Amino acid sequence: QAIHSSATISNCGRYRYTLERQWSRGETCLFVGLNPSTADGMTDDATTRKCTALAQNWGFAGLTMV
């Protein structure tokens, strides 16, 4: 199953504003994080993998992390 991945990162590369994963058509789940994350448009970290699993289990077609 192909997952479309994207991220919006600051020009300096220090800040990630949004991270998106989409695995099918449908509603997207929003996660708001308080701690820094190392995930980007191509690579997931433990938090992103956990949020992806939760969103899939809840029946969502994708996620956005801010």
Distance in angstroms (rounded) separating the CA atoms of residues 21 and 42? 10
The pTM (predicted TM-score) of the whole model is 0.88
Inter-residue contact 38 to 45 (CB < 8 Å)? yes
Inter-residue contact 32 to 66 (CB < 8 Å)? yes
pLDDT tens, per residue, the chain with 66 residues: 789 999 999 999 888 999 999 999 999 999 999 987 889 889 999 999 999 999 999 999 999 999
| Residues paired with residue 65 on neighbouring β-strands, in sequence order | 19, 31
| Total count of residues recorded for the chain | 66
